[in-house]
Structure 1
Amino acid sequence: MTPIHAFLNGTGRDDRGRRIADVLAMDDHALEFTHDYIQWLFPLATPSMAQPGSPVLAPGDVPAIRGDPLAQANLARAAVLMSGFYARSPDWLGSYDHNHLRITRIVTSLKLLVGREAAAGFLAAIEDRCRAAGDPVNARSRRYWREALES
């Protein structure tokens, strides 16, 4: 089992020694101002430009994580956590914000590791929040979110 898979199913730790339960227990302040957890919570097959040393999905991780009920449950909890954070926080509702990149990552990772339906549900909540706030997020970021779902 790779480090990412072990982290997601709750048996491993990230590079700072946190278990997924620790990350899922973060408050909104920590979610906003800690910048190295999102790559572990929602991993991708490509390196992060924001956190160059962050983990990357290895060959075989996707089917292993998709087939692991603990990892799937934790990914669902992570999606609920981040959806709730974005519902409560107005800070990301501007033209440009680092959270826009996080949202693209979350949609991409959910689609890859859980399925399109989970990614679409997360994105729908984000887009609803944007509309309710008067659509302050730039069109380019929103286009990236939709492309992450459709690609």
Structure 2
Amino acid sequence: MATDSRLIAFYSGKESDHCGRYLQDIQNWTNDRLETIHDYIQWLFPLPEVSQFNAAAPLLTHEVIVEFRSRPDLQQNLRVSFLRMMEFYGLEVHVEPITVTRLPGLTGNSAGWLSPGNHNHLRITRILRCLNLLGLKTEARAFFECLSKIWEDERSKRAPAVSSKTFSYRRGAASDTGIE
């Protein structure tokens, strides 16, 4: 199977990732597994560039982007991945209209990503960009608006969990729509 087809097969539930894991299995992982395993995020939220953390992950191509944008089943499976990661980050997604908010009492595991230099900052930027590229722009916008509020709360702190540089990357990811 061609490299770009692996994502379609993975998101269709027909094939596993490079470690034998299926999409639905990863979506059902515990928060601890999502935190400690680092080579799944590139499959859940692929990008056009090679990841320095998982060279085995397939890349988005023009053809894959077009197929994702045209297939409701793929978009729904991507939406489920997004919802799972929002839960992991202690965020809640509301529908009609789609908004993302911080859960009250964001503490413990769900607040762990709110620390300077945490690896989840890279994951979050990846998620934003992937959602935009694959056609879930409303979800990406809602997520970015929530992250903007968190950044506003953080930036005045002596040691903010989110740096201006990180937020700048997020802003770029939130506006990257790839092909039109």
Unaligned runs of 5+ in 2: 91-105
Runs of 4+ in 1 over 6 A off after TM superposition: none
**2: CA distance between counterparts of 1:86 and 1:11?**
28
Partner of 2:101: none
Partner of 1:66: 69
2:164 aligned to 117, 129, 139, which one? 139
| Richer in helix (by share) | 1
Which residue type is aligned with residue 168 of structure 2? R
Cα-to-partner distance string for 1:107-128 (whole Å, 9 max, x where unaligned)? 0100000232221112223344
Cα-to-partner distance string for 1:75-99 (whole Å, 9 max, x where unaligned)? 1111111111111511110121111
The percentage of aligned residue pairs carrying the same residue is: 34
State the 1:58 CA deviation.
3.1
2:43 aligned to 29, 40, 44, which one? 40
| Residue pair 2:128, 2:144 contacting (<8 A) in 1 also | yes
Partner of 1:117: 138
Which residue type is aligned with residue 136 of structure 1? A
> Taking structure 1 as the reference length, what is the TM-score of the superposition?
0.90
| Residue pair 1:83, 1:126 contacting (<8 A) in 2 also | no
| Richer in strand (by share) | 2
Larger radius of gyration: 2
Unaligned runs of 5+ in 1: none
| Residue pair 1:45, 1:56 contacting (<8 A) in 2 also | yes
Partner of 1:102: 123
Stretch deviating more after TM superposition (138-147 or 54-63): 54-63
Are 1:26 and 2:29 counterparts? yes
Are 1:85 and 2:106 counterparts? no
Number of residue-to-residue matches in the alignment: 151
| Residue pair 2:132, 2:175 contacting (<8 A) in 1 also | no
Cα-to-partner distance string for 1:57-80 (whole Å, 9 max, x where unaligned)? 234101111112221111111111
Report the aligned-residue RMSD.
1.8
> Taking structure 2 as the reference length, what is the TM-score of the superposition?
0.76
| Residue pair 2:151, 2:167 contacting (<8 A) in 1 also | no
State the 1:130 CA deviation.
4.8
